[in-house]
A and B are shown apart, each in its own frame.
Chain A
Amino acid sequence: MNLSAYAWPVAIGVMIFVTFNALIIASAILVLAERKIMGFIQQRYGPYLVGPWGVMQPFADILKLLFKEELRPKGADKWLFTLAPVLAIVTAFVAFATVPFGAETTLFGLLDKPIKLGITDVNVGVLVVFAVTSMGVYGIVLAGWSSNSKYALFGGLRASAQMISYELAYATSLAAVILLAGSLSLREVVDGQTGTWLGFVPKWYLFLQPVGFLIYVIAGVAETNRAPFDFPEAEQELVAGFNTEYSSVRFAMFPQAEYINMVTMSAVATDLYLGGWHTPLIPDSIGWVGFLLKVAFILFAYIWMRWTVPRYRYDQLMTFGWKWLFPASVINLILTAAAVLYFNA
């Protein structure tokens, strides 16, 4: 039997399986990391009872949630209430489908032809991620509306207004990188960052687009509804926001979707601005290690920011998004376009 003929589709199947499970594990690690780092920042221990150093805490959490009763308020819309968490988590997983995370590799000689690390590569990859992420807001908005609760409804309303406002700045900062790379495929964007300037500065778009990177990260935090932009679930004002009426596994899906969205956002930031799997001192054959390190650093910064910066006020959020972030990203785009035209001509 010729094994290598089967190796190719099997390799892609394995890739999907591994990525899917890696995202689930990543969200578990993030739960632990968040609680541990929060503990350190607030001069506490954080979870330490379940397993050594509290490492089994996320699994204890999910086990507890599994055994809770699934409640649905009497006046809730039956279909949309059930659909909302599913929509949130499905879009979170699907968004990762076009994110590449490593160069071509034969997995230490296991395959006869090299496989690209990443589920699929389409020529409009960046836009696919953006489109699927922007669909994720429906999960939150529908959860807020269908719960038939005023707190949840406010959470949903805030989520939709916030997403619409920050998507503009987000997409415009993306466009500047696309202009530099001349391609909408994430893999080609990463390949455009190969090599170094002057022998030691890596050719990352971060150094060409510092303002764009800043705008991307700020808008990304707002898009994933993380502090200081966590208005849909502002607990001091809205009980628990859009997920107030949810319990058990349906509730667990929302934070998990949020963590997976954070991973996707960090991975895309790494691909667009931090050179993807091109890292100094790490050979490209194990470039995915460098990729993971960069993603981990951005995720750490996410958590760090959440427990350091207080939440904005709602009107400040809108003013900042429309009057500062969006104009800044438009100016950045125009300057980038002019520079690309000037240096390429």
Chain B
Amino acid sequence: MPETITFYLFAALAIGASVLVIGQRNPMYSVMLLIASFGALSGLYILLDAPFVAIAQIIIYAGAIMVLFLFVVMLLNAPREDAAEWDRTHPLRQPGVTRWGTLLAGLLIVQLAWALGKMTDLKAPVATKTDAATVSSVTELGRSLFTRHTFAFEATSILILVAMVGAVVLARREGDQ
């Protein structure tokens, strides 16, 4: 079963890279690891017989959004967060906050384990040939996006537009016309 092996390989890569993203002090490395994690995710999509989604993931996230991230990180010129200073002054490092955070993280892990335990009919991690045809065809994807899911599609577009207008309004300095 080469597909199962590939699945676990990509899954391990995605999880490993994601864990390392939050473990890095250097934001540049975090960005690169996030890209690696996106790559592994798109590998998982290919295993699910959804090549279009896989490539869209690479083009949009790895190719466009992460380049912007990199751009911002480079402009901020913050190669390394000052660890000692950060530990002392950051509001998230206060004892109360840390304790609550730990508690919530523990709760989340318990909840996840419980939910996974409840699921008895877990399907195989790779796609069966029958449901492949519905997601792999770009035509089908487009048709369902613009008929069955029109509302969700339009709502998302408006959300993005609002965010964009908001960013422009916030970025404009006082007094500028």
Contact = CB atoms under 8 A, between A and B. Distances in A.
Contacts of B63: 131, 134-135, 137, 167
A79 B79 CA distance: 13
A127 B55 contact: yes
Name, among A77, A122, A138, A153, the residue most crowded by chain B CB atoms within 10 Å (CB to CB). Answer: A138
A184 B138 contact: yes
Contacts of B35: 138
**Interface range, A side:** 20 to 34
Contact of A163 (B51, B62, B67, B74): B67
Nearest to B138: A184
Nearest to A129: B55
B58 interface: yes
Interface string A240-273: 0000000000000000000000000000000000
A308 interface: no
B70 interface: yes
A157 interface: yes
Interface string A10-44: 00000000000000000000000000000000000
Contacts, number: 71
A137 B75 CA distance: 17
A173 to B, nearest CB: 15
B71 A160 contact: yes
Interface string B111-148: 00000000000000000000000001010000000000
Contact of A123 (B58, B62, B70, B136): B136
- Interface SS, B side: helix
B52 A127 contact: yes
Nearest to A132: B58
B64 A157 contact: no
A19 to B, nearest CB: 21
A241 to B, nearest CB: 14
B161 to A, nearest CB: 16
B67 A137 contact: yes
B13 interface: no
B59 interface: yes
B75 A157 contact: yes
A331 interface: no
A80 interface: yes
A141 interface: yes
A171 B35 CA distance: 21
Interface in B26-64: 28-29, 32, 35, 51-52, 55-56, 58-59, 62-64
A164 B67 contact: yes
B162 interface: no
A304 B14 CA distance: 45
Interface string A112-143: 00000000001110011011101101100110
Contact of B59 (A130, A145, A163): A130
Given A80-B32, A131-B55, A135-B58, A167 B74 contact: no
B59 A131 contact: yes
11 contacts: A79-B29, A80-B28, A127-B55, A134-B67, A135-B58, A138-B32, A138-B67, A141-B70, A146-B28, A160-B70, A171-B59
Given A124-B52, A144-B74, 17 more contacts: A80-B28, A124-B55, A124-B138, A127-B55, A127-B59, A130-B59, A134-B58, A134-B59, A134-B62, A137-B67, A141-B70, A145-B74, A153-B74, A160-B70, A160-B71, A164-B71, A167-B64
Interface of B: 28-29, 32, 35, 51-52, 55-56, 58-59, 62-64, 67-68, 70-71, 74-75, 79, 136, 138
What are the 9 closest A-B residue pairs judged by CB atoms, nearest first? A134-B63, A131-B58, A127-B55, A131-B59, A160-B71, A124-B51, A160-B67, A131-B55, A124-B55
